[in-house]
Amino acid sequence: MQKTLKDRAPLLLPIFLLILLATISNARANERCPLGFGMHSYEQHSQLKAGTNWKCDYPLFEHSPAGDSINAAIQKAIAANTLSNEKQPAPATIGEVAAAFVEAGEESMRDEKQHAWPWEAQVSADVLLNQPGIVTVSIFSYTFTGGAHGMSTTRYLVFDTQSVRPLALHDLFKPGFKKTLDRMIERRFRQMRGLKPGEPLNGEKGGLFENRISHTGNFAVTGSGIRFLYNQYDIAPYAAGPIEIELPFGELIDILKPLEVLKPLLHEKTRSSK
């Protein structure tokens, strides 16, 4: 006599439970693993104007909801850092970003109707942190499109890979953090420049545009703390170059939210800094 599904249920249930447990175990294992990625390079040279070129090294994360979101954000940031024409639709690929830059350089040469400087763009995107739950990417861009000098910019991208979204400062810090954070940043800047309390930040030693310095949304979560970066012209003249201020987790612990993604980073750092 053939067994019915009802008769087989006692046998199928253990198998179903084993499959379910294996699926849950694999999902949890994936949550504990960093995202996989590989480094890629792309470059394009003008056929009309010698020296006009676009070069880029960038990470490409594995296909997943988090990986796809990070890849899209990296491409968008690369395009924003090297393309100035906001009227055109955003390029869909790295190749289209390169083509748009080279084409703009060739168009500039035609508009000048005389010798024009070759355009150049060099982009380097690096993974600063790749921990389970959190990824930080640094995107450095140098562009020259004529004039006295080229422009260099660095932009940081920080992602929560579990909720698949970029992280802002208010996601990391407790409400009301701004004044305390600004005091920490000013204290560290004064240490870096050898400024005594009361000495102006916009004096000869400080070199800032204004007699104050505050947090910026251009930040990176690193393995040891949180880094704030001010690009040329953000708070100081071009000659001052970029200004980096990194605060260790041990100093920030009182104003940081108790986030799960930060716990592996905080565990040893806070203990060693106190």
Least confidently predicted of 1-5, 32-36, 136-140: 1-5
The reply to whether 16 falls in a domain is no
Same domain, 139 and 254: no
Least confidently predicted of 164-168, 178-182, 191-195, 266-270: 266-270
Are residues 135 and 221 in contact, defined by beta-carbon separation less than 8 angstroms?
Answer: no
The reply to whether 223 falls in a domain is yes
Same domain, 143 and 114: yes
Same domain, 94 and 134: yes
Domain that holds residue 126: 37-167
**Average pLDDT, integer, range 65-77:** 96
pLDDT of res. 67: 97
pLDDT of res. 161: 95
Same domain, 178 and 104: no
pLDDT of res. 172: 97
The reply to whether 23 falls in a domain is no
Same domain, 41 and 66: yes
Phi-psi group of 124: left, alpha or beta (phi > 0 → left; psi -120 to 50 → alpha; rest → beta): beta
pLDDT of res. 50: 86
The reply to whether 22 falls in a domain is no
Least confidently predicted of 26-30, 46-50, 143-147: 26-30
Contact partners, residue 11, CB within 8 Å, separation at least 6 = none
Same domain, 110 and 84: yes
Least confidently predicted of 85-99, 156-170, 188-202, 243-257: 85-99
Reference 76, options 102, 94, 61; nearest CA is 94
pLDDT of res. 115: 58
- On the question of pLDDT at 264 being above 90, the answer is no
Q: Is 97 exposed, middle or buried (0-12, 13-18, 19+ CB in 10 A)?
A: buried
Q: Is 245 exposed, middle or buried (0-12, 13-18, 19+ CB in 10 A)?
A: buried
Residue 84 pLDDT grade (very low, low, confident, very high; cuts 50, 70, 90): confident
Same domain, 59 and 132: yes
CATH code for the domain in which residue 252 is found:
3.90.640.20
pLDDT of res. 5: 46
Is pLDDT larger for residue 50 or for residue 241? Answer: 241
The reply to whether 7 falls in a domain is no
Single pTM value for the model: 0.84
- On the question of pLDDT at 10 being above 70, the answer is no
**Average pLDDT, integer, range 187-206:** 96
The domain boundary residue, chosen from 137, 167, 197: 167
Percent of the chain with pLDDT over 90: 70
pLDDT per residue as tens digits for the range 205-217: 999 999 999 999 9
pLDDT of res. 83: 87
The reply to whether 51 falls in a domain is yes
The reply to whether 20 falls in a domain is no
pLDDT of res. 108: 84
CATH code for the domain in which residue 85 is found:
3.30.565.40
Same domain, 151 and 178: no
The domain boundary residue, chosen from 120, 151, 167: 167
Residue 23 pLDDT grade (very low, low, confident, very high; cuts 50, 70, 90): very low
Reference 141, options 158, 128, 126; nearest CA is 126
Same domain, 101 and 163: yes
| Structural domains counted in the chain | 2
The reply to whether 42 falls in a domain is yes
pLDDT of res. 21: 42
Percent of the chain with pLDDT over 70: 83
The domain boundary residue, chosen from 167, 197, 230: 167
Question: Tokens 């294992």 label which residue?
Answer: 29
- On the question of pLDDT at 274 being above 50, the answer is no
Same domain, 163 and 42: yes
Same domain, 68 and 94: yes
Residue 109 pLDDT grade (very low, low, confident, very high; cuts 50, 70, 90): confident
Same domain, 174 and 101: no
